[in-house]
Amino acid sequence: MKADRLLIDCHVATMVEGPVPYGAIQDAAVVVADGRIAWVGPRADLPAVDAAETERLDGRWITPGLIDCHTHLVFGGDRSAEFEQRLGGATYEEISRAGGGIVSSVKATRAASEDDLFASAMTRLAGLKDTGVTTVEIKSGYGLDRETELKMLRVARRIGREGGVRVRTSYLGLHAVPPEYRDDRAAYVDLAIDDILPAAHAEGLVDAVDAYCEPIAFSSDEVSRLFDKARTLGLPVKLHADQLSNGGGAALAARYQALSADHIEHATEDGVAAMAAAGVVAVLLPGAYLMLRETQTPPVDLLRRHGVRMAVATDCNPGTSPVASMTAALNLACIQFRLTPEEALSGATREAARALGMLAEIGTLEAGKAADLAIWDISRPAELCYWLGKPLLNAACRGGKHV
């Protein structure tokens, strides 16, 4: 077998489902050829390999490159002043209704150039990459006009070309009503659905369509119109669902066979059952839960009981989750939501890939998949969820190449 790289003297958490926790292989070997995993298994079973490079890892662990499947990485400015307001007792809803929240980020994002947005996003991406992330989902939604929504999505595509990570984009035009449409929200909904989305799709900027379904955002009827349009364009959908209240978002996501329903702190058992039947992944976002000081946790026990897959993401954004560390998100998912370390790590690998529709390509370490790897200075996989702030990453590879 000819190969580009042979990794030995290592342990591998393949994250393949089965009876072995983490899909772990002790004293393993990984063979990489043409950017893909050619072979992975116990070193004792390693076939004859003619490798251009052999690397001994001194007993380190290899996992799939981590996947942050829900971020708002591209935006202008910050909202640290609102952080102070919330600490003083103001609620997220109060700040939003007073013209803060998403709308304040819209003003800063509209004013920023593409180069400015790219440069600021790359600083946040650095934190994700330093914690093992090799794939990032990036949403629009801080433009809320045609020019700026397209600008954000172009920046996201540029990050995919120049940032050393895989990028999946999501159009989030139904994120908030912009100030200029405050007295005519129906006209903005029309614009977002019938003008901006088709323009972004025609330019090849959209991989999926997202929306924010809440009383302070958009109704089920409005989101349904958007999702119907996405269907006509052949685009998958996902949904910010049931974060602040039970608005039937989980069931709406299931009705459209969404890739994922995200947040879902207030989802009911009926909604969870609908998600299970439709194969919708639950994306848990512990950073937002922490920063908003919420008390209603996602229904993890119901998700387990109904067999709903659970992903974990940072929700990196300027207002409600200024989190740029994937390992911090794993720790918070375990501490706040009581996920096991194996559930959390699965949520940042296999299930995150499923939530992006990319499981055939990434998310587990199996022959034929892309060689997106994270190499860690740890003695067991649970350490990735145990430490908060300790640097653990030794190296990361995308398509077999160090990044």
Beta-carbon contacts of residue 342 (< 8 Å; ≥ 6 apart) = 21, 22, 381, 382
Judge whether residue 99 has pLDDT over 80: no
- For the residues 321-340, what does the mean pLDDT come to? 98
Tell me, letter by letter, the H, E, C secondary structure of 121-162.
HHHHHHHHHHCCEEEEEEECCCCCCHHHHHHHHHHHHHHHHH
320 in a labelled binding site: yes
- Residue count of the chain, please give it: 403
Q: What percent of the chain has pLDDT over 90?
A: 91
Judge whether residue 100 has pLDDT over 90: no
Residue-range domains of the chain with CATH: 2-64+364-402 (2.30.40.10), 66-356 (3.20.20.140)
Paired tokens of 255: 């009705």
Give the pLDDT confidence score for residue 220 in this predicted structure. Answer: 97
Q: pLDDT tens digits for 159-211?
A: 999 999 999 999 999 999 999 999 999 999 999 999 999 999 999 999 999 99
What is the DSSP-derived secondary structure letter of residue 23? G
386 in a labelled binding site: no
Residue closest to 333 by CA, chosen among 348, 322, 344: 344
Give the pLDDT confidence score for residue 245 in this predicted structure. Answer: 95
Q: Where are the alpha helices (DSSP H) in 88-239?
A: 92-97, 102-111, 114-130, 146-162, 185-191, 197-202, 220-232
70 in a labelled binding site: yes
394 in a labelled binding site: no
398 in a labelled binding site: no
**If pLDDT is split at 50, 70 and 90, which confidence band does 91 have?**
confident
**If pLDDT is split at 50, 70 and 90, which confidence band does 85 have?**
confident
**What is the distance, to the nearest Å, from the Cα of residue 163 to the centroid of all Cα atoms in its chain?**
16
Q: pLDDT tens digits for 348-400?
A: 999 999 999 999 999 999 999 999 999 999 999 999 999 999 999 999 999 99
Q: pLDDT tens digits for 260-271?
A: 999 999 999 999
317 in a labelled binding site: yes
Judge whether residue 104 has pLDDT over 90: no
Query: In angstroms, rounded to a whole number, what is the distance separating the alpha carbons of residues 300 and 344?
Result: 12
243 in a labelled binding site: yes
Judge whether residue 21 has pLDDT over 80: yes
User: CA 292 → CA 72, 156, 176, 240, 282, distances in Å?
Assistant: 17, 26, 18, 16, 19
Angle 82-285-398 from CA coordinates, rounded to 5°: 110
Give the pLDDT confidence score for residue 97 in this predicted structure. Answer: 76
Give the pLDDT confidence score for residue 336 in this predicted structure. Answer: 98
Global pTM reads 0.97
Averaged pLDDT score across all residues of the chain: 96
What residues does 382 pair with on adjacent strands? Answer: none
- Yes or no: say if 378 and 61 are a contact pair by the CB < 8 Å rule: yes
Give the pLDDT confidence score for residue 84 in this predicted structure. Answer: 87
Give the pLDDT confidence score for residue 233 in this predicted structure. Answer: 98
